[in-house]
């Protein structure tokens, strides 16, 4: 009789084990970027409106800034765009657009249509700088502090809740920077 209970015990034990491991899968997603807490990689890229001008990530040193990865081919970027516009208006720090693997004409047309919320753009046509940033999908939003340390990375579109979280983190970074 006891022997017949063993399969049931194995079954219950397995279900409990698997259910316990579900939340940790959620946590693994949260810490998905090993770059958080490290210095933003240094790279120079041309602008979008001004392809002749080259900007480096070092140029923003001294104040916090937001780096937002987008592309005209990216549908979720349209979804998050109202919040990106709000970030541009209300965050009080530079909002740098990282135009990833896009065609210049498409990107400019997209900005005409949806509005250019960004302070300035950096254009990565070949995607090499994106690899250094550990980008694997657009949109992605990085928060970088005045010392050039990546403090936070959000993967996926920004919504109301994420927006509030980002603003709170930016406030904190501004306090630290003393701006």
Partner 1 sequence: MSHRLPQFARATGASLVLAFALIIPVWAQSDPAPGTQSPGQQQPDSAASPMQRGQMGSMVSPIEPLPFRSDLERQRFKALTGELRCTVCQNESLSESTAPLARDIRMEVFSMLQEGRSDFEIRNFMVDRYGDFVLYRPPLASHTILLWGGPLLLLIGGLIGALFVIKKRRQAL
Interface with partner 1 includes 82 (CB under 8 A)? no
160 binds partner 1 (CB under 8 A): no
Q: Give the DSSP H/E element, type plus range, for residue 82.
A: helix 75-90
| Tokens 């979280």, residue located | 165
* Six token digits for residue 121: 């753009």
Sole window of 48-56, 90-98, 128-136, 171-179 interacting with partner 1 (rule: CB under 8 A):
128-136
Please report, for residues 20, 48, 71, the alpha-carbon distance to residue 117 in angstroms, rounded to integers and kept in the order given. Answer: 43, 13, 14
Nearer CB in complex with partner 1: 74/95: 74
Report, in Å, the least distance between residue 13 CB and partner 1.
9
Asked if residue 6 binds partner 1 (CB under 8 A), the reply is yes
Q: Which of left, alpha, beta for 156 (phi over 0: left; psi -120 to 50: alpha)?
A: left
Beta bridge partners of 154: 141
DSSP state of 175: H
User: Helix or strand or coil: residue 29?
Assistant: helix
Which of the stretches 58-66, 86-94, 130-138, 170-178 binds partner 1 when contact is defined by CB under 8 A? 130-138
**Min CB(2)–partner 1 separation in Å:** 11
Among 40, 91, 111, 133, binds partner 1 (CB under 8 A): 133
Q: Which stretch binds partner 1 (CB under 8 A): 90-98, 125-133, 144-152, 163-171?
A: 125-133
Q: Is 62 in the site for partner 1 (CB under 8 A)?
A: no
Instruction: Please classify residue 156 by burial: count the beta carbons closer than 10 Å to its beta carbon, then call 0-12 exposed, 13-18 middle and 19+ buried.
Output: middle
Residue choice 98, 100, 142, 163 for contact with partner 1 (CB under 8 A):
100
90: nearest Cα among 148, 10, 37, 164: 164
**Contact criterion met (CB below 8 Å) for 61 and 72:** no
Q: Is 29 in the site for partner 1 (CB under 8 A)?
A: yes
Contact residues: partner 1, CB under 8 A: 3-4, 6-8, 10-11, 14-15, 18-19, 22, 25-26, 29, 32-35, 71-76, 78-79, 100-103, 106, 126-128, 130-140, 155-157
């Amino acid at each position: 009789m006891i022997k017949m209970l063993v399969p049931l015990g194995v079954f219950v034990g397995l279900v409990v084990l698997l259910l316990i491991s579900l939340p940790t899968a959620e946590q693994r997603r949260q810490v998905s970027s090993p770059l958080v807490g490290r210095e933003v990689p240094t790279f120079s890229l041309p602008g979008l409106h001004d392809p002749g001008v080259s900007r480096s990530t070092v140029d923003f040193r001294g104040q916090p800034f937001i780096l937002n990865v987008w592309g005209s081919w990216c549908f979720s970027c349209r979804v998050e765009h109202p919040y990106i516009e709000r970030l541009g208006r209300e965050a009080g720090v530079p909002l740098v657009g990282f135009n990833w693997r896009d065609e210049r004409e498409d990107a400019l047309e997209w900005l005409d249509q949806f509005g250019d919320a960004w302070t300035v753009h950096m254009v990565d046509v070949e995607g090499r700088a994106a690899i250094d940033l550990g980008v694997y999908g657009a949109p992605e939003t990085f928060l970088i502090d005045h010392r050039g340390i990546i403090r936070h990375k959000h993967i996926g579109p920004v919504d109301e809740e994420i927006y509030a979280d980002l603003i709170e983190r930016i406030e904190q970074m501004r306090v630290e920077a003393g701006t």
